[in-house]
C-alpha cells in the first residue's frame, strides 16, 4: 500500500462547483503539504501544515482552503472551481521539512 | 525570496550520452539541496540530496550531483543515460532555518533509444 494516498486520482468538474481532494498518510509524519503542478511552472506550494493545529498559506493559496482533520489526513478544497485551477495536484509529507514523500497525484479538470 | 532556476527546460539525448542538468539557487546561506525525479505518469521521488559534507553526492540509478557553493549550483550528472531515464527532473532547495522547500520549474529529459 502507498504511504501517501490521494483521492480521487482524476476528477472532472464544472466551473463554480466546490470540490475536495483528500490525502492520507501512513508514514507518521507531522508535516503535510499541497502543491499544484503546471507545465513549465514546476511545483508551487498551496498550503502546508506542521501539525493538526497549524495551517499555513503557501505561495498560491487564493481560491483554495485546507483542513487538517488528523495527523494523517490533510484535505484541499476548491470553494468555487475555475478553469485555471485545472492542474495536477500533489500531496506530500515530511518528518523534518527536508525530504518529502509524494502521493500519486490528482489530475483535476475544471470545465 | 529564494528562487531555484533550472535553465534547461527540455533535453533530448541519445542512449549512452552523458547528462548534465543545471540548477542554480539564490539563497546565500546554508542550504539543503535535492533532486527529485518524476517518471511519466508517476509521482515525484527523491533522487539524491545534499545536507553537508562531501559536495559530490551520489544517488540512485547512477546519478550524482555536485554542490558548488561559490556558484550557488547543484548540477545533476549521469555518465551514460538509458531510455528508462526519460522523466522530468526537479531541483529543490531548503535554506537553513526555513521550513519550506522551493522547487525549480523542472527539466524534461527525453532519451532516444
The 3-state DSSP class for residue B69 equals helix
Cβ contact, residue pair A104, B42, below 8 Å: yes
Q: pLDDT tens, B12-24?
A: 999 999 999 999 9
Cβ contact, residue pair A90, B43, below 8 Å: yes
Question: Is A25's Cβ below 8 Å from some Cβ in B?
Answer: no
Q: What is the pLDDT of residue A1?
A: 57
Radius of gyration of chain A, Cα coordinates, nearest whole angstrom: 13
- B-contacting residues in A 38-97 (Cβ below 8 Å): 40-45, 48, 50, 58, 90, 92, 97
The CA-based diameter of chain B, rounded to the nearest angstrom, is 44
Q: Can you list the residues of chain B whose pLDDT is less than 70? A: 1-2
For residues B64-77, one letter each, b for 16 or more C-beta atoms within 10 angstroms of the residue's C-beta and e for the rest, the string is: bbbbeeeebbbbbe
- Phi, then psi, of B103 in degrees rounded to 5: -100, 150
pLDDT in tens, chain A (111 residues): 569 999 999 999 999 999 999 999 999 999 999 999 998 888 999 999 999 999 999 999 999 999 999 999 999 999 999 999 999 999 999 987 678 899 999 999 999
Cell reading at B97:
532555518
Task: Assign 3-class secondary structure to A5-37.
Answer: EEECCEEEECCCCCEEEEEEECCCCCEEEEEEE
- Measured in angstroms, the CA of A39 and the nearest CA of chain B are apart by 8
Nearest to B43 by CA among A88, A10, A23, A102: A102
Q: pLDDT tens, A70-80?
A: 999 999 999 99
How far CA A70 is from CA of A24, A75, A92, in Å, comes to 9, 10, 15
Rounded CA gap, A5 and A28, in Å?
13
Q: Are strands A87-94 and B4-5 parallel, antiparallel or unpaired?
A: unpaired
Cell reading at B16:
549512452
A42 contacts in chain B (CB < 8 Å):
6, 90, 103-106
| Chain A, chain B: beta-carbon pairs less than 8 Å apart | 46
Cell reading at B99:
521550513
Amino acid at each position: 500500500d502507498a504511504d501517501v494516498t490521494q483521492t480521487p486520482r482524476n476528477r472532472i468538474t464544472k466551473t463554480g462547483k466546490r470540490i475536495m481532494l483528500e490525502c492520507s498518510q501512513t508514514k507518521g509524519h507531522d508535516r503535510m503539504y499541497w502543491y499544484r503542478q503546471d507545465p513549465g511552472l514546476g511545483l508551487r506550494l498551496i498550503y502546508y501544515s506542521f501539525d493538526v493545529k497549524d495551517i499555513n498559506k503557501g505561495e498560491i493559496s487564493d481560491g483554495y482552503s485546507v483542513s487538517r482533520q488528523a495527523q494523517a489526513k490533510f484535505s484541499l478544497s476548491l470553494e468555487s472551481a475555475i478553469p485555471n485551477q485545472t492542474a495536477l495536484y500533489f500531496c506530500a509529507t515530511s518528518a523534518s521539512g527536508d525530504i518529502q514523500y509524494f502521493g500519486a497525484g490528482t489530475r483535476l479538470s475544471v470545465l | 525570496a529564494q528562487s531555484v532556476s533550472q535553465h534547461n527546460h527540455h533535453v533530448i539525448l541519445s542512449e549512452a550520452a552523458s547528462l548534465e542538468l543545471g540548477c542554480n539557487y539564490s539563497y546565500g546561506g546554508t542550504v539543503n539541496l535535492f533532486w527529485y525525479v518524476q517518471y511519466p505518469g508517476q509521482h515525484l521521488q527523491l533522487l539524491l540530496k545534499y545536507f553537508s559534507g562531501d559536495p559530490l553526492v551520489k544517488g540512485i540509478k547512477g546519478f550524482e550531483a555536485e554542490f558548488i557553493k561559490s556558484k550557488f549550483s547543484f548540477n545533476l550528472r549521469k555518465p551514460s543515460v538509458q531510455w528508462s531515464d526519460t522523466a522530468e527532473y526537479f531541483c529543490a532547495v531548503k535554506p537553513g532555518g526555513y521550513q519550506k522547500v522551493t522547487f525549480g520549474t523542472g527539466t524534461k529529459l527525453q532519451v532516444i533509444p
